[in-house]
Chains A and B, each alone.
Chain A
Amino acid sequence: DTGVSQDPRHKITKRGQNVTFRCDPISEHNRLYWYRQTLGQGPEFLTYFQNEAQLEKSRLLSDRFSAERPKGSFSTLEIQRTEQGDSAMYLCASSSAGGRETQYFGPGTRLLVL
């Protein structure tokens, strides 16, 4: 399967712990996006990479959040000192360059902070 993959699929952690999620985009896609989705809501944009460059970060992404895409391929999203309000589904998507490309979504990582 050459779709977008995310790891882990589920994560339960205690408040105050750090967590890291990984996203592997479709191999030829140079654009990568992170979204967060809470229960009953649509996804919200967190950040966007074009190749290895992080071109935009939402104000939703507090200082406790950091995302990287070191070689322009996979990406990681780290949350430090997790809070209960961080509990959500974290979705990754990728797309190819171009004016009107479709974004392909991964299965998401569901985070529960106790």
Chain B
Amino acid sequence: KNEVEQSPQNLTAQEGEFITINCSYSVGISALHWLQQHPGGGIVSLFMLSSGKKKHGRLIATINIQEKHSSLHITASHPRDSAVYICAVRWRGSNYKLTFGKGTLLTVNP
């Protein structure tokens, strides 16, 4: 079964801390997405990557294709970063369907 696993499920941090959220998947993929979901439901796409590393502001996403693993890092975390972060993959051979992890609930306290 093609699966996406995220860890941790819940993460509480103090403002300013460096955050890492992990995503592992079971078989080959063509792309991996990191998404952010705030209370109320709306989902925003943060990154789409298939190799290497991408950076946007304080967010960094990396992927290791051989190890089937990706990480999302947040530097200098802030309470407004509090949200659910979701990893989603497009399996190799599919050009549209995404399979999602359960998400990581991040709470950043001031």
Q: How far is the CA of A103 from the CA of B96 in the complex (A)?
A: 9
Residues on the A chain within 8 Å of B102, using CB: 40-42
- Chain B residues 56 to 110 lying within 8 A of chain A, measured CB to CB, are 86, 88, 95-103
Is there contact, CB below 8 Å, between B97 and A42? no
Residues on the B chain within 8 Å of A93, using CB: 43
Q: Does B27 contact A (CB under 8 A)?
A: no
Is there contact, CB below 8 Å, between A105 and B42? yes
Contact (A105, B44) CB under 8 Å given A100-B30, A100-B31? yes
Q: Does A31 contact B (CB under 8 A)?
A: yes
Residues on the B chain within 8 Å of A89, using CB: 41
Specify the main secondary structure of chain A where it touches its partner.
Answer: strand
Nearest-neighbour CB distance to chain B for A100, whole angstroms, equals 6
List 20 contacting pairs A-B, 8 Å CB cutoff, sorted by A.
Answer: A31-B96, A33-B96, A40-B102, A41-B103, A42-B4, A42-B88, A42-B100, A42-B103, A45-B99, A91-B41, A93-B43, A95-B96, A102-B45, A103-B33, A103-B45, A105-B43, A105-B45, A106-B42, A108-B41, A108-B43
Q: A45-B99, A89-B41, A93-B43 are in contact. List 18 more A-B contacts (CB 8 A).
A: A33-B96, A33-B98, A35-B100, A41-B103, A43-B86, A43-B88, A43-B100, A45-B98, A100-B31, A100-B50, A103-B33, A104-B45, A105-B44, A106-B42, A107-B40, A107-B41, A108-B43, A110-B41
- Contacts from B to A (Cβ < 8 Å): 4, 30-31, 33, 35, 40-45, 48, 50, 86, 88, 95-103
- Contacts from A to B (Cβ < 8 Å): 31, 33, 35, 37, 40-45, 48, 56, 89, 91, 93, 95, 99-100, 102-108, 110
